[in-house]
Amino acid sequence: MKNIRLGMTEITVPQNAFGALPIQRVTTDEAVSLLRNAYDGGMRFFDTARAYSDSEEKVGKAFEGMRDKVFISSKTGATTKEKFEEDLNTTLTNLKTDYLDIYQLHCAAKCYTEEDDIYNCLVEAKKQGKIRHIGITAHKIGVAEDIVNSGLYETLQFPFSYLASDRDIALVNLCKERDMGFIAMKGLSGGLLTNSRACMAFMSQYDALPIWGIQRQSELDEWLSFFENEVTMTDELKTVIDKDRNELLGEFCRGCGYCMPCTVGITINQCARMSQMVRRAPSQNWLTDYWQQEMLKIDSCVDCGICKTRCPYELDIPNLLKKNLADYKEILAGKPV
């Protein structure tokens, strides 16, 4: 397994890390078991956030008494000094630690600089020893480029998968040039990519640390298998990647959920990508009575546009929902998938 150095932080870990967002959906015992099994299997970097309900608490319980053996990053969505301090203290308590290896501004709408109180909060927390390194996450490529060019942050977390554009790849390379750690989120593009070997082979070509969102032991087993059987790019995997890129590139929903909640109750982050999910996962899982009723809620869309303002990818969500519903109705009428 290739090791990744996260730029100027000097944090060096295997290129195979744990994204702890999904563990908020399982019991504490299940989460602790997953996290400890991940450590035993070779993972050393664990990423969570204040926004992931009880994820931090589960990570804290899993690694209590072995804090020096793992690297933990968390995030805050705070934009004021008061909220920042509240979030950081809560996070440290949840994680049963007195420091974070990386603390990140979560889903930044812009590159915060010395002129912004929230950036200065990070600097002060680092001086106090509560955080060791300053990081930030973004979804918009222009914001991410501004962040890297600012030279103010030690790590950037950004969506990166084999559906990446040339501009996305250039961003990763720019991070390397600027000695900035690059943490790759959404390496499976919200579940649309299903070939873990292809995903791992793609990542191995770059100085990027992927944090795989893991909820089940079977998922963890796939990622841990690469510690013993290293994956490199092959012609076979290139064919898989090319096929997926041909099918998926363009306007598609990554399922991040930032658009939610919907004013009329539509499950946007699933319904807006139903055409892909019904074809890339077992179809019967998405053709149940439950999902038929959820999809029919799209007919009640009032085009308020609130979801569009929240989407980090600037998608035309109302139109995307309507396209998915039309396709879904054709599938229910017998159109092959």
pTM of the model: 0.90
Q: Are 34 and 40 in contact (CB under 8 A)?
A: no
Report yes or no on 337 lying in a domain.
no
Same domain, 220 and 300: no
Average pLDDT over residues 116-142: 97
Tokens of 305: 């546009």
Backbone angles phi, psi at 104, to 5 degrees: -120, 140
Neighbours of 33 (CB within 10 A): 15
Ramachandran quadrant class, 257 (left: phi over 0; alpha: psi -120 to 50; beta: rest): left
Same domain, 153 and 230: yes
Q: Which domain, by its residues, includes 278?
A: 268-332
- How many CB atoms are located within 10 Å of the residue 254 CB? 24
Domain-located, residue 69: yes
Is-contact 136 105, C-beta < 8 A?
yes
Summarised one tens digit per residue, pLDDT across range 225-272 is 999 999 999 999 999 999 999 988 878 888 888 899 999 999 999 999
Domain boundary at 237, 255, 283, which? 237
Q: How far apart are the first and last CA of the chain?
A: 37
Q: Are 48 and 17 in contact (CB under 8 A)?
A: no
Which pLDDT belongs to residue 260? 93
| Whether residues 231 and 287 fall in one domain | no
Per-residue confidence (pLDDT) for residue 148, from 0 to 100: 98
* Residues 214 and 18: beta-carbon distance below 8 Å: yes
Query: What does the mean pLDDT of the chain come to?
Result: 95
Give the model's pLDDT for residue 52.
Answer: 96
Residue 237: CB partners within 8 Å, gap ≥ 6? 195, 197, 198, 201, 231
281 pLDDT above the threshold of 80: no
Helix (H, G, I), strand (E, B) or coil at 208: coil
Considering the domain architecture, whether residues 222 and 274 belong to the same structural domain is answered as no
Residues 80 and 226 placed together within one structural domain of the fold: yes
Nearest Cα to Cα of residue 101 among 35, 177, 144, 155: 155
Q: How far is CA 263 from the centre of its chain?
A: 25
CA distance 322 to 263: 16
The tokens of 333 are what?
């009428």
As given in the structure block, the two tokens for residue 197 are: 């070997």
Q: What is the pLDDT of residues 135-177, one digit of tens each?
A: 999 999 999 999 999 999 999 999 999 999 999 999 999 999 9
Same domain, 200 and 313: no
Q: Report which secondary-structure segment, H or E, holds 39.
A: helix 28-41
Q: How far apart are CA 48 and CA 23, in angstroms?
A: 10
84 and 230 share one domain = yes
Cβ contact 273:324 at 8 Å: yes
Confidence check: pLDDT of 79 > 80: yes
CA distance 155 to 135: 5
